[in-house]
């Protein structure tokens, strides 16, 4: 079976997802990409470039059975420009994120035209797939509000149409690649190592993280820090301030470009903390968990569905989910003081190993096959 994959934002988690899927799938994929920059232009105008590239594929003899398009694809525009090349092929629309509920900084104002592209793409697709239950619920709840903005012909009934053809499929991940560096775990135990491995942006709420660490430091807790994660030209000032305060206790500062370096950092850490105000999925947290970091995650967003319920607050070990800033402080202080035990590495790995592509790809392969056999 032949699948045409469209990814106009070929970078970061989007790239890792589609590359991992193609590498592990039993189906034949043709991947059409664009560089991961100018996201607004990709969503508005990328369809024309994708359609042109698909016409070249058609000329070479490639005819897809199914199309897999990421959330950066303007599906109605792409189909309008490419139907003469691809015919009436079923389309899967995979939402890594959406522009209706994606959090904005205080300086930004939401441009609903991009959210409307997501909405129209959901309508045009045969199957809509969300990367988490949280993402699906948040988007579906917000859709009526988007449609009511417009003066007439709001088509509110289409929300139920989108709901009927939607499903949740967690991301696949290349977790087993981390296993080769597991011998670094436990090599450096002078004091617990707390990890930050998320993007250095406002939606991950670094302000709350460093406020927490400063409070713990003031309380006399011993710890060291690994501050990894993607950096940008304009980064939150909290990182520079933290570097000044904790310079002698920071084991790594900045983005780890090399996978081996990144994996070794994850294996070296003891505890990973999220203070995110928004998370559609949570790749960074799951990678850290696989590598043996005990996670402390807010009891909201996508996290409760990713952690087995019996481990939310286990009896004999430190909790994973916290309810507010005060409970996070209490849990982490107890862990740093040795009063709460982290979960064993085997238990932590068991939380996420089912998402490794070696096993998780079966769900995606089955979805593509079902659409090919039963097109709408």
Q: Concatenated DSSP letters for 251-293?
A: EEES---SHHHHHHHHHH-SEEE---S--SS-HHHHHHHHTTP
Helix (H, G, I), strand (E, B) or coil at 323: coil
CB 34 within 8 A of CB 50: yes
Taking a C-beta distance cutoff of 8 angstroms, is the pair 91, 70 a contact?
no
pLDDT in tens, the chain (376 residues): 999 999 999 999 999 999 999 999 999 999 999 999 999 999 999 999 999 999 999 999 999 999 999 999 999 999 999 999 898 999 999 999 999 999 888 888 999 999 999 999 999 999 999 999 999 999 999 999 999 999 999 999 999 999 999 999 999 999 999 999 986 544 456 799 999 999 998 899 999 999 999 999 999 999 999 999 888 767 778 899 999 999 999 999 999 989 999 999 999 999 999 999 999 999 999 999 999 999 999 999 999 999 999 999 898 999 999 999 999 999 999 999 999 999 999 999 999 999 999 999 999 999 999 998 876 5
User: Rounded distance, CA 24 to CA 69, Å?
Assistant: 18
Checking 134-137 for CB contacts under 8 A at 24+ apart, the result is 134/279, 134/280, 134/301, 134/302, 134/305, 135/95, 135/97, 135/98, 135/168, 135/280, 135/281, 135/302, 136/166, 136/168
CA-nearest of 1, 6, 17, 10 to 36 is: 10
| 278-308 pLDDT, tens digit each | 999 999 999 999 999 999 999 999 999 999 9
- Contacts of residue 317, Cβ cutoff 8 Å, sequence gap at least 6: 294, 340, 341, 342, 343
Sequence-distant (6+) residues with CB within 8 A of 290 are: 175, 178, 266, 348, 349, 351, 352, 353
Residue pointed to by tokens 């709840």: 141
pTM of the predicted protein model = 0.94
Distance CA 3, CA 22 (A): 9
CA-to-CA distance for 206 and 17, rounded, in angstroms?
Answer: 26
54-89 residue pLDDT tens: 999 999 999 999 999 999 999 999 999 999 989 899
Please, which residues bridge with residue 4 across strands?
Answer: 30, 67
Residue 50 exposed, middle or buried by CB count within 10 Å (0-12, 13-18, 19+): buried
Q: In sequence order, what are the beta bridge partners of 196?
A: 227
DSSP assignment of 2-70, as one string? Answer: EEEEEEEEESHHHHHHHHHHHHH-SSEEEEEEEES--HHHHHHHHHHHHHHHHHHHHHTT---SEEEEE
């Amino acid at each position: 079976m032949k699948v045409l994959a469209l990814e106009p934002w070929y970078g970061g988690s989007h790239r890792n997802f589609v590359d991992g899927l193609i590498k592990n799938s039993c189906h034949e994929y043709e991947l059409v990409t664009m560089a991961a920059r100018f996201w607004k232009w990709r969503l508005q105008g990328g369809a024309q470039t994708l359609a042109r590239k698909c016409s070249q594929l058609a000329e070479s003899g490639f005819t897809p059975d199914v199309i897999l398009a990421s959330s950066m694809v303007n599906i109605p525009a792409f189909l309008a420009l490419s139907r003469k090349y691809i015919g009436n092929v079923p389309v899967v629309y995979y939402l890594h994120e959406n522009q209706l509920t994606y959090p904005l900084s205080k300086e930004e104002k939401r441009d609903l035209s991009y959210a409307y592209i997501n909405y129209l793409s959901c309508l045009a697709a045969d199957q809509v797939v969300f990367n988490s239950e949280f993402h699906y619920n948040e988007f579906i709840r917000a859709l009526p509000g988007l449609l009511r903005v417009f003066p007439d012909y709001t088509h509110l009934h289409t929300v139920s149409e989108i709901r009927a053809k939607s499903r949740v499929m967690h991301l696949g991940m290349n977790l087993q690649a981390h296993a080769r560096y597991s011998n670094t775990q436990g090599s450096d135990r002078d004091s617990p190592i707390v990890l930050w491995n998320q993007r250095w942006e406002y939606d991950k709420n670094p302000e709350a993280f460093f406020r927490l660490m400063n409070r713990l430091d003031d309380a006399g807790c011993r710890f060291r820090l690994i501050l990894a994660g993607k950096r940008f030209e304009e980064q939150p000032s909290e990182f520079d301030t933290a570097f000044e305060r904790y310079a002698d206790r920071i084991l790594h500062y900045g983005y780890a470009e090399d996978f081996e370096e990144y994996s070794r950092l994850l294996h070296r850490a003891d505890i990973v903390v999220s203070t995110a105000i928004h998370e559609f999925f949570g790749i960074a947290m799951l990678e850290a968990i696989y590598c043996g970091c005990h996670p402390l995650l807010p009891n909201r967003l996508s996290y409760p569905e990713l952690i087995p319920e019996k481990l939310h607050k286990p009896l004999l070990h430190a909790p994973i989910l916290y309810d507010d800033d005060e409970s996070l402080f209490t849990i982490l202080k107890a862990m740093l003081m040795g009063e709460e035990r982290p979960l064993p590495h085997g238990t932590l790995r068991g939380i996420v190993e089912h998402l490794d592509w070696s096993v998780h790809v079966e769900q995606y392969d089955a979805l593509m096959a079902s659409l090919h056999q039963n097109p709408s």
